[in-house]
């Protein structure tokens, strides 16, 4: 065992005892089936609340993609007692921030308020969740705004690459779609659809509410009792997920007047519940998830100078999300950079991680975990994720042991089991002539048999449920 | 990692950080100064070699953040070597005789720490965060590279390529950055704020290792740096450790001062940028003073009224009511070292013209000059700024960042003036700064007119090329 290994192990043991403490918060299930998670953290005169609805854009009807997102956007655009503008003025006057974000698997409502304004802020939250009015003019305007942003995003080569990547990776699957929908599908959505979606999914039995900050369990309990007494549980529709498609290797080259080739390589990855999750986490950290010192960063950036950033990522969601390697390099070096990247991955898969790498990755993951739970917003963000994936509020305490028990052999096996270079989808958005590449077709239609083009979008960190 | 922050990004970065510690102040006389507050304690100390040390005690969690603020950025550059501050920032990660290449990151990462750096027009900042027991390592690593970073040809050539890729990523292929660059270049004719932090591409190609070495020799000295530490620490135990590490770095030569002054603008300037993009963009930048001027508070309020929060005037009027633009923002960084720009920017909505949006924008700016804002609206802007300040205190990193920012202006405790200063602003003062600065002859307008399609036409319906390559 090398000196580094010894240090790493000592570091794991040392920090685990010094930073870990009691469970992150308390958990109760209310009479209306809402799960309430509370972290009492006095110190700053503020409270952060995060409400997660366990429904996201995945349930959007194929023809009405963008429904969950449009509903979320309209929630703060008028209620029974407030016009959109009156609500905006009141929130700003209180200094309260309130946002609603739809993701694939879930929708997150975030409230940050000064303690002194907690009552009034909470009343506005209840207003938004329980009594949105979905006015026609706001419906039209927000829909147009979303369409405008879709158009605007087309100038961003990274966005274009990401869209094509997921579109080709997940044809006929919710993860292949655009959360915000697209012009044609948005056009089919009616205000009644929005009202129906809200009535169906914005239900207490579909909700996790987490609070952190200068608040007590009694206080949040009485606020909920006084403002959400009429919120009633209701049966939720069944939703069956299709399996991610089997796939074979594919290359998609898109031509754009840019100075850099935007490259995305990958395939469908794993679900959060996969038993190999932690071995994959460590494996990917070594490959390209760990920033400086990772195999890809060392080779592609530090040694070759091909890219400013290069990384790999397993998006482990409720269902298997994508494994993605992304980099950008000047058009002229696109082919070499891709070849180098593939070589790094193949070599890593074949030869496996070293013991030293695995121990260093474990040390980082264990020792950095407590740093992700410092602020009130950190904690309010983490609590619902633990609930959503059934990890338990003692997860931070268990984490060192979970990571610590993963073996070198498991990490090496995870590379063989979960990296499939022979099945890679490669998307390149570049000035193809300068890159020496030929154009492939842009639409997914012919390749996948989709009746209409599907699409995806950049992951929204606020709406992506990762811990 | 390692990044550069352009002026407008800096604006956005600090927009959430405006303000202050609402504190009980007890000054001690002498070299070292301590401020005790309800839950806060700040100590300042100046080492013999000139290094300013600022320590913020925050015992909410057993963690600490360390930041080294070198008072050098693109503002200190000259034509021909633009971007050298940021390039040097990259090279500072290439190792020392004691900690070879890669060691720096490895040592921090295996302790679960985070580290990075950023460069702005005014400063270059390096930072680390981790559990507090690792602070000694950070002191050792940062003081070591302050004195002993190895700058060699191999590392230089590699980082030069990486920085050029960074410029392609963030500017060349990013239409809005491209336009901001053009506006700055037109607005500043004599002052270094006219060139981009990342540097012009040809300068990045032409700069040499010798240039970088000379630049480091000139600016990387304890007397030109501020060390900020925030976290679960006490100055009594920390200061001896700082003396043992940073205290051993020899004082450097005197630092050359930037003497450039932008002459008053006498007449509107307009720049047009034609390049591939989805939608037109519009930016107006007005020359304004910074923190040293009392008017900076009224300008901050004006920026918030126009562009801050959900109820901002530009949002309501241009985005919601007239639907001329997809987004509209106001920016003003009062902590800029030299006079800066007050900016108004818009992304034009599909089917609308920048001319109509400009007209609507002018009407909003005129309204600020002719009609006093109501007390309610004024109060709302102040509440908005103050609440965002409180929220920013949730993070140790941002607390340290605020201290460093104001320390770079001369004294960290200037931050104590911010909330009282903003609270004291009157509706009349807001009108006065609008009348004085938000005038056409004082502005530079940049307009991006899309030229070219986002994605070139491609053959439809053919089978995709299968197989890797």
| Residue-wise pLDDT tens digits, B62-72 | 999 999 999 99
Among B73, B90, B91, B92, which residue's Cα sits nearest to residue B82?
A: B73
The answer to whether residue B259 sits within a structural domain is no
Poorest-confidence range of A72-86, B18-32, B178-192?
B18-32
Residue A133 pLDDT: 97
Mean pLDDT of chain B: 89
Nearest-Cα distance to chain B for A227, in Å, is 24
Instruction: State the DSSP code for A249.
Output: -
The answer to whether residue B254 sits within a structural domain is no
Number of CB atoms found within 10 A of residue A191's CB: 15
Q: Between B30 and A156, whose confidence is greater?
A: A156
Range of the domain at B306: 269-398+410-450
The answer to whether residue B466 sits within a structural domain is no
Nearest-Cα distance to chain A for B466, in Å, is 5
Q: Which residue has the tokens 């299709």?
A: A242
In this structure, the answer to whether residues B118 and B230 fall within a common structural domain is: yes
Of B248, B282, B315, which one is at a domain's C-terminal end? B248
pLDDT tens string, chain A, 467 residues long: the values are: 344 444 444 444 444 444 445 789 999 999 999 999 999 999 899 999 999 999 999 999 999 999 999 999 999 999 999 999 999 999 999 999 999 999 999 999 999 999 999 999 999 999 999 999 999 999 999 999 999 999 999 999 999 999 999 999 999 899 999 999 999 999 999 999 999 999 999 999 999 999 999 999 999 999 999 999 999 999 999 988 888 777 789 999 999 999 999 999 999 999 999 999 999 999 999 999 999 899 999 999 999 999 999 999 999 999 999 999 999 999 999 999 999 999 999 999 999 999 999 999 999 999 999 999 999 999 999 999 999 999 999 999 999 999 999 999 999 999 999 999 999 999 999 999 999 999 886 544 333 333 333 333 333 333 345 55
Residue A245 pLDDT: 76
In this structure, the answer to whether residues B133 and B224 fall within a common structural domain is: yes
Among B88, B58, B346, which residue's Cα sits nearest to residue B207?
A: B88
Domains A25-162+179-227 and A258-430 share a fold: yes
Q: What is the 3-state secondary structure (H, E, C) of chain B?
A: CCEECCHHHHHHHHHCCCCCCCCCCCCCCCCCEEEECCCCEEEEEECCCCCEEEEEECCCCCEEEEEEEECCCHHHCCCCCCCHHHHHHHHCCCCCCCCCCCHHHHHHHCCCCEEEEEECCCCEEEEEEEEHHHHHHHHHHHHHHHHHCCCCHHHHHHHHHHHHHHHHHHHHCCHHHHHHHHHHHHHCCCCHHHCCCCCCHHHHHHCCHHHHHHHHHHHCCHHHEEEEEEECCCHHHHHHHHHHHHHHCCCCCCCCCCCCCCCCCCCCEEEEEEECCCCCEEEEEEEECCCCCCHHHHHHHHHHHHHCCCCCHHHHHHHHHCCCEEEEEEECCCCCCCCEEEEEEEEECCCCCHHHHHHHHHHHHHHHHHCCCCHHHHHHHHHHHHHHHHHHCCCHHHHHHHHHHHHHCCCHHHHHHHHHHHHCCCHHHHHHHHHHHCCHHHEEEEEEEECCCCCCCCCCCCCCCECCC
The answer to whether residue B257 sits within a structural domain is no
In this structure, the answer to whether residues B193 and B292 fall within a common structural domain is: no
In this structure, the answer to whether residues B309 and B235 fall within a common structural domain is: no
- The Cα–Cα gap between A249 and B205 comes to 38
Residue B3 pLDDT: 57
In this structure, the answer to whether residues B325 and B203 fall within a common structural domain is: no
Q: Does B384 touch chain A (CB under 8 A)?
A: yes
Q: Does B4 touch chain A (CB under 8 A)?
A: no
The answer to whether residue B77 sits within a structural domain is yes
For residue A368, the chain B residues in CB contact (below 8 A) are 109, 112-114, 130
Number of domains forming the structure of chain B: 2
Are residues A443 and B460, on separate chains, in Cβ contact within 8 Å? yes
ipTM over 0.95: no
- CB interface of A with B, residues 239-258, below 8 Å: 248-258
The answer to whether residue B459 sits within a structural domain is no
Nearest-by-CA chain A residue for B65:
A371
In this structure, the answer to whether residues B183 and B310 fall within a common structural domain is: no
**What CATH class is the domain A258-430?**
alpha beta
Could you name the CATH architecture of A25-162+179-227? Answer: 2-Layer Sandwich (3.30)
Of B184, B218, B248, which one is at a domain's C-terminal end? B248
The percentage of chain B sitting over the pLDDT mark of 70, rounded to a whole number, equals: 88
Among B211, B309, B289, B237, which residue's Cα sits nearest to residue B57?
A: B237
**Sequence spans of domains, chain A:** 25-162+179-227, 258-430
- The Cα–Cα gap between B234 and A463 comes to 39
pLDDT of residue B117 exceeding 90, the answer is yes
The answer to whether residue B260 sits within a structural domain is no
Residue B452 pLDDT: 73
In this structure, the answer to whether residues B377 and B436 fall within a common structural domain is: yes
| Residue-wise pLDDT tens digits, B411-452 | 999 988 889 999 999 999 999 999 999 999 999 999 999 997
In this structure, the answer to whether residues B236 and B274 fall within a common structural domain is: no
In this structure, the answer to whether residues B210 and B331 fall within a common structural domain is: no
CATH of the domain at B441: 3.30.830.10
Half-sphere exposure of B53 (CA within 13 A, CB side): 24
In this structure, the answer to whether residues B233 and B279 fall within a common structural domain is: no
Residue A12 pLDDT: 44
Are residues B1 and A291, on separate chains, in Cβ contact within 8 Å? yes
- The Cα–Cα gap between B283 and B448 comes to 9
In this structure, the answer to whether residues B226 and B320 fall within a common structural domain is: no
Nearest-Cα distance to chain A for B135, in Å, is 14
In this structure, the answer to whether residues B156 and B195 fall within a common structural domain is: yes
Nearest-by-CA chain A residue for B103:
A293
Are residues A330 and B110, on separate chains, in Cβ contact within 8 Å? no
């Amino acid at each position: 065992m090398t000196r580094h290994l010894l240090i790493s192990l000592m570091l794991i043991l040392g920090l685990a005892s010094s930073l870990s403490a009691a469970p992150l918060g308390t958990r109760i299930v209310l009479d209306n089936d809402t799960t309430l998670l509370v972290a009492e953290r006095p110190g700053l005169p503020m409270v952060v609340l995060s409400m997660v609805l366990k429904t996201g854009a995945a349930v959007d009807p194929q023809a009405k993609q963008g429904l969950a997102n449009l509903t979320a956007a309209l929630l703060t655009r008028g209620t029974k007692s407030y016009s959109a503008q009156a609500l905006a003025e009141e929130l700003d006057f209180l200094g309260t921030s309130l946002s609603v974000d739809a993701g694939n698997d879930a929708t997150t409502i975030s409230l940050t308020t000064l303690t002194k304004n907690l009552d009034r802020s909470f009343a506005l939250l209840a207003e938004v969740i329980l009594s949105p009015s979905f006015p026609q003019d706001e419906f039209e305007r927000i829909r147009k705004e979303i369409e405008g942003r879709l158009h605007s995003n087309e100038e961003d080569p990274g966005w274009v690459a990401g869209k094509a990547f997921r579109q080709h990776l997940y044809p006929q699957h919710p993860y292949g779609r655009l959360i915000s929908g697209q012009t044609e599908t948005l056009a089919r959505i009616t205000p009644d659809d929005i009202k129906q979606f809200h009535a169906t999914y914005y239900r207490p039995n579909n909700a996790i509410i987490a609070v952190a900050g200068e608040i007590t369990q009694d206080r949040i309990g009485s606020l909920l009792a006084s403002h959400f007494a009429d919120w009633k549980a209701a049966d939720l529709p069944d939703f069956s997920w299709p399996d991610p498609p089997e796939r074979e290797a594919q290359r998609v080259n898109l031509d754009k007047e840019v100075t850099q080739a935007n490259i995305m390589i990958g395939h469908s990855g794993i679900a959060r519940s996969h038993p190999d999750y932690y071995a994959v986490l460590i494996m990917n950290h070594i490959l390209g998830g760990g920033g400086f010192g990772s195999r890809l960063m060392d080779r592609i950036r530090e040694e070759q100078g091909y890219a400013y950033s290069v990384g790999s990522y397993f998006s482990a969601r409720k269902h298997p999300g994508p494994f993605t390697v992304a980099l950008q390099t000047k058009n002229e070096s696109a082919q070499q950079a891709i070849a180098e990247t593939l070589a790094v991955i193949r070599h890593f898969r074949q030869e496996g991680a070293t013991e030293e790498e695995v121990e260093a990755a474990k040390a980082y993951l264990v020792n950095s975990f407590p740093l992700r739970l410092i602020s009130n917003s950190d904690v309010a963000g983490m609590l619902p994720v633990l609930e959503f994936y059934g990890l338990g509020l003692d997860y931070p305490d268990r984490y060192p042991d979970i990571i610590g028990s993963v073996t070198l052999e498991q990490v090496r096996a995870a590379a063989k089991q979960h990296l499939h270079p022979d099945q890679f989808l490669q998307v390149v958005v570049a000035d193809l002539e300068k890159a020496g590449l030929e154009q492939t077709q842009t639409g997914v239609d012919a390749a996948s048999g989709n009746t209409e083009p599907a699409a995806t979008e950049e992951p929204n960190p606020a709406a992506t449920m990762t811990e | 990692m390692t990044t550069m922050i352009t002026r407008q990004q800096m604006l956005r970065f600090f927009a959430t950080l405006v303000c202050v510690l609402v504190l009980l102040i007890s000054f001690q006389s002498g070299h070292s100064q301590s401020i005790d507050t309800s839950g806060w304690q700040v100590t300042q100390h100046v080492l013999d070699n000139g290094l300013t040390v600022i320590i913020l005690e925050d015992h909410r969690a057993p963690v600490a953040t360390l930041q080294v603020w070198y008072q050098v950025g693109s503002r200190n550059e000259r034509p021909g070597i633009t971007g050298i501050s940021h390039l040097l920032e990259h090279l500072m990660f290439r190792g020392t005789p004691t900690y070879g290449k890669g060691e720096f990151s490895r040592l921090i990462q295996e302790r679960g720490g985070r580290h990075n750096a950023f460069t702005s027009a005014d400063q270059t900042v390096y930072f680390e965060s981790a559990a507090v027991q690792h602070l000694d390592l950070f002191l050792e690593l940062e003081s070591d590279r302050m004195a002993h970073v190895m700058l060699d040809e191999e590392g230089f050539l590699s980082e030069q390529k990486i920085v050029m890729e960074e410029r392609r990523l963030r500017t060349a292929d990013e239409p809005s950055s491209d336009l901001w660059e053009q506006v700055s270049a037109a607005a500043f004719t004599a002052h270094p704020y006219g060139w981009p932090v990342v540097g012009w591409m040809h300068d990045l190609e032409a700069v040499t290792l010798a240039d970088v070495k000379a630049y480091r020799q000139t600016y990387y000295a304890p007397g030109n740096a501020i060390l900020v530490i925030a976290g679960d620490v006490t100055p009594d135990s920390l200061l001896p450790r700082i003396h043992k590490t940073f205290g051993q770095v020899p004082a450097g030569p005197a630092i050359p001062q930037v003497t450039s002054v932008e002459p008053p603008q006498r007449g509107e300037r307009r720049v047009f940028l034609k390049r591939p993009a989805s939608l037109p963009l519009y930016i107006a930048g007005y020359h304004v003073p910074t923190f040293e001027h009392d008017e900076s508070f009224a300008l901050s309020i004006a920026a918030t009224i126009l562009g801050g929060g959900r109820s901002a005037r530009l949002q309501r009027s241009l985005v919601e009511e007239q639907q001329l633009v997809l987004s509209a923002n106001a920016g003003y960084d009062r902590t800029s070292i030299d006079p800066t720009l007050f900016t108004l920017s818009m992304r034009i909505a599909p089917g609308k013209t920048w001319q109509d949006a400009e007209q609507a924008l002018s009407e909003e700016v005129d309204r600020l000059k002719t009609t006093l804002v109501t007390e309610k609206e004024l109060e709302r802007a102040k509440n908005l700024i103050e609440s965002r300040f409180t929220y920013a205190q949730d993070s140790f990193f941002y607390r340290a960042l605020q201290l460093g920012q104001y320390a770079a202006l001369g004294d960290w405790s200037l931050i104590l003036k911010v909330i009282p200063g903003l609270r004291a602003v009157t509706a009349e003062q807001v009108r006065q700064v609008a009348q004085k600065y938000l005038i056409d002859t004082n502005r530079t307008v940049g307009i991006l007119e899309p030229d070219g399609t986002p994605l070139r036409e491609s053959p439809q319906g053919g089978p995709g090329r299968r197989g890797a390559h």
